[in-house]
Structure 1
Amino acid sequence: MQQDAAPAPVRDWDPEIDDTLVCRAVRDETHDVKTFVFAPKRPCLFRFKPGQFITLELPIGGETVQRSYTVSSSAARPHRLSITVKRVPGGPVSNWLHDTLKPGDTIRAVGPLGEFTPGESEKPRKFLFLSGGSGVTPLMSMTRTFDDLGEDHDIVFVHAARTPADIVFRRELDALTGPGRRLRVAHVCEGIGTEAHWAGFTGRLSLPMLGLIAPDFMEREVYVCGPGPFMKAVRSFLEGGGFDMSRYHQESFNFEEMAAELAAGHAAEDLSAQAAAIQAAPAGEAPASAGFRIEFTKTGKVFTCPPDMAVADAASAADIRVPTSCSRGLCGTCKTKLISGTVEMNHTGGIRKREIDQGLILLCCSRPTSDLVIER
């Protein structure tokens, strides 16, 4: 009797050849937060490390917009992955996702990428997870992964939100604290909202409050994710409290918020004095400053970029808006077609080799080696 052939093994997602995800489900988490569940279009396993992100390429307003979101699902379940997105007032991408994306739709994606991950360890570790708002997503991925794998880590998970109604993954986190699990969860809300019988912490997270929640926090490895002011406050009070900052890890979570800040000109503090003097030239005119001539064909903007500066930084210094998020060639938000000229590009994974072969560059990590004409 002839035996049936063994089924072929399912291959892993390969970012160089795989780029299409199918939306399988959309779930409401809170009144303004949704989870989007995806599967690869072609059968394969999506391997990633908990805490990493993917960059979506979305058709919005007749253009392709890139935006990065942390994977919120467990890395131990590679057949599906999910992102959890808060609707940002005026945010073009988050609103498009909430209002438009539905099961069955396909999108392109790059990734996984990112270094905000706890890595692997054969021995149990002591963690302190501190999240604010949508910054819960990478820490939730870590928690789900540890639970699925049965890893015996001691975790204190502290999540800060505006009100109890804004707590993302509230029921699941509380359920994961059951008997036999070494996870403790504390929710901290600025106000109680409509939940009159709120029994959790109220106010803003502080060092004294943290001491009540996790008296042994000085012994733990800390992972922090949330809005900029939240992470700044946490870092400040931990440093002031004598915490060993070599065991402190943080990640900016909201790439859409970062892109909005950059577009508004609030993230150019680290530009050099030379860049600060760069001025945009009228359309069709060459700029007077020394450096290479950069032309954006769609907007007609022309400016100068010194050879030791990234194109995105020079554009920002010339008061020209360029969507960008990570500023180090990681997320792919500033991916653009180079029509003519040459650049030196030192990226960290935000662009595929085949895209480079097609003439695409990342403006945040590309320095000109000649005059450039760019499709933007």
Structure 2
Amino acid sequence: MITYGLKVVEKVKETDDAVTICFKQPGLKKIAYQAGQYLTVIFRINGRRYIRPYSFSSAPGIDATLNITVKRVLQGVVSNHIVDKVEVGDTIEVMPPMGDFVIDRDNFNNTNHVVLWGVGSGVTPLMSIAKFVLGNYSNHVTLVYGNRSHESTIFVSQIEQLKQQYSNFTLWNFHTKLRVNATNTYLVEGRIQPAKVLAVLNEVDQLKHSVHYVCGPLGLKESVKDELIKFDVDPSHIHSEDFEIVKDPKDFEDVITCTVEIISDRVSTQVEVIKGKSILEAGLDAGIELPYSCQTGSCLICKGKVVAGDVKTIGITHRPDKLLPGEQLLCCTYPLSEGIKVES
């Protein structure tokens, strides 16, 4: 697992519970990344190693620094540490950029209308994509952004700057905790309403050829996709970012509590895996410093080889092609039998 240190050169307070951390690009070898990807940070807090992925809010070729934006999560060890403790001058250990929530160049050209859908901190990778597209292409970009209120909105100043700088940028705001003037088409009370937005967009553009990037809760992703299908948008033009695995309680009916042998760095450890916890979670709780990053089954860093026993994959719809026979993603792997042995 390759890591390196990046120095914090600026910390920007976005809201009361969100900050942007700006890292200096290394002088000799610049870090290459794509708009929409994420940077994985590593901290040691109270003696335990924590690894977390945070989306870039900066755009390559547009911003001089590498920026991630972090919102405080209730009881979130790392997010609270970043918001409260990280300061300018600190050096943070990071992994190379990863992620495939990026511009699909095979289905992208200057005639595509780019529509970005996000709620709360889900706007972070969308901001990266918006700045990159507006700075490099002539496409029209629409950002559909849901928040509780103006005060809880991240990137207020940056979004206002984009509105002033680019005539081909449109913003829709949906606020759940604020009554707004109903005569303003683009400022709407309540949750994001895909049908309302698409009806307006379809009057001025060919939605059939639009491309969409969705970052938010499962309900948003499903409602956006359902509405887009009504406008004959190609499913390959609809992209979504997953920050968590969606688990169906029924999938756990045959999962058991058992002891699993985990071999990491040639050290064998017997770990009790409680029903409902993945083998990765149990290993980390036991103090084993297993490799991981996204915990959603996409980065493949947590892969391990199951050499004995039966396991079950939960939370991902298909097995990644890059996995070798016997390999499993430990963040999505759960015990079905006794006698499980895993090599990481």
- Normalising by structure 1, what TM-score? 0.68
Which residue of the partner structure matches residue 330 of structure 1? Answer: 299
> 1:116 deviation in Å?
0.7
Q: What does residue range 335-354 of structure 1 map to in structure 2 within 5 Å?
A: none
Give the distance between the partners of 2:29 and 2:183, measured in 1 at CA: 44
Give the distance between the partners of 1:314 and 1:268, measured in 2 at CA: 17
Give the distance between the partners of 2:221 and 2:37, measured in 1 at CA: 18
Which residue of the partner structure matches residue 355 of structure 1? Answer: none
Supply the AA of the counterpart residue of 2:118: S
Which residue of the partner structure matches residue 147 of structure 1? Answer: 134
**Matched-pair contact (CA < 8 Å) for 2:134–2:141:** no
Partner residue of 2:195 out of 197, 204, 208: 208
Give the distance between the partners of 1:176 and 1:55, measured in 2 at CA: 27
> 1:180 deviation in Å?
5.5
> 1:164 deviation in Å?
1.6
Give the distance between the partners of 2:86 and 2:8, measured in 1 at CA: 8
> 1:153 deviation in Å?
0.9
Give the distance between the partners of 1:111 and 1:293, measured in 2 at CA: 30
Structure 1 or 2, whichever has the larger Rg, is 1
**Matched-pair contact (CA < 8 Å) for 1:20–1:41:** no
Which residue of the partner structure matches residue 22 of structure 1? Answer: 7
Which residue of the partner structure matches residue 239 of structure 2? Answer: 249
Which residue of the partner structure matches residue 220 of structure 1? Answer: 210
**Matched-pair contact (CA < 8 Å) for 2:176–2:189:** yes
**Matched-pair contact (CA < 8 Å) for 1:293–1:303:** no
Structure 2 gaps of 5+ residues are 309-318, 323-327
Which residue of the partner structure matches residue 221 of structure 2? Answer: 231
Which residue of the partner structure matches residue 109 of structure 1? Answer: 94
Aligned length: 311
Structure 1 pair 277–328 and aligned structure 2 pair: CA distance change class (3 A): closer
**Matched-pair contact (CA < 8 Å) for 1:28–1:34:** yes
Supply the AA of the counterpart residue of 1:143: A
Sequence identity percentage: 23
Secondary structure in 2 aligned to 1:176?
Answer: helix
Partner residue of 2:271 out of 289, 297, 301: 301
CA deviation map 1:149-181 (0-9, x unaligned):
3x1011111111111212211232233123753
> 1:134 deviation in Å?
0.7
Give the distance between the partners of 2:102 and 2:299, measured in 1 at CA: 15
**Matched-pair contact (CA < 8 Å) for 2:262–2:269:** no
Secondary structure in 2 aligned to 1:177?
Answer: helix
Which residue of the partner structure matches residue 280 of structure 1? Answer: 258
Supply the AA of the counterpart residue of 1:278: I
Supply the AA of the counterpart residue of 1:182: N
Give the distance between the partners of 1:218 and 1:54, measured in 2 at CA: 33
**Matched-pair contact (CA < 8 Å) for 2:11–2:88:** yes
Q: Which sits farther off after the overlay, 70-79 or 207-216?
A: 207-216
Which residue of the partner structure matches residue 330 of structure 2? Answer: 363
Supply the AA of the counterpart residue of 2:295: C
Supply the AA of the counterpart residue of 1:328: G
Secondary structure in 2 aligned to 1:111?
Answer: coil
Partner residue of 2:151 out of 158, 165, 172: 165
Secondary structure in 2 aligned to 1:328?
Answer: coil
Which residue of the partner structure matches residue 20 of structure 2? Answer: 35
**Matched-pair contact (CA < 8 Å) for 2:255–2:334:** no
Structure 1 pair 42–104 and aligned structure 2 pair: CA distance change class (3 A): same
Secondary structure in 2 aligned to 1:141?
Answer: helix
Secondary structure in 2 aligned to 1:96?
Answer: helix
Which residue of the partner structure matches residue 357 of structure 1? Answer: none
Give the distance between the partners of 1:219 and 1:367, measured in 2 at CA: 41
**Matched-pair contact (CA < 8 Å) for 1:68–1:331:** no
**Matched-pair contact (CA < 8 Å) for 2:59–2:129:** yes
Secondary structure in 2 aligned to 1:113?
Answer: coil
Which residue of the partner structure matches residue 65 of structure 2? Answer: 80
Which 4+ stretches in 1 moved above 6 angstroms? Answer: 195-198, 295-299, 315-318, 320-324, 346-349, 365-370
Give the distance between the partners of 1:197 and 1:89, measured in 2 at CA: 34
Which residue of the partner structure matches residue 60 of structure 1? Answer: 45
Give the distance between the partners of 2:198 and 2:26, measured in 1 at CA: 47
Structure 1 pair 19–153 and aligned structure 2 pair: CA distance change class (3 A): same
**Matched-pair contact (CA < 8 Å) for 2:178–2:189:** yes
Supply the AA of the counterpart residue of 2:238: Y
Give the distance between the partners of 2:38 and 2:261, measured in 1 at CA: 34
Structure 1 pair 84–118 and aligned structure 2 pair: CA distance change class (3 A): same
Q: What does residue range 261-276 of structure 1 map to in structure 2 within 5 Å?
A: 267=247, 276=254
Q: Which sits farther off after the overlay, 95-104 or 171-180?
A: 171-180
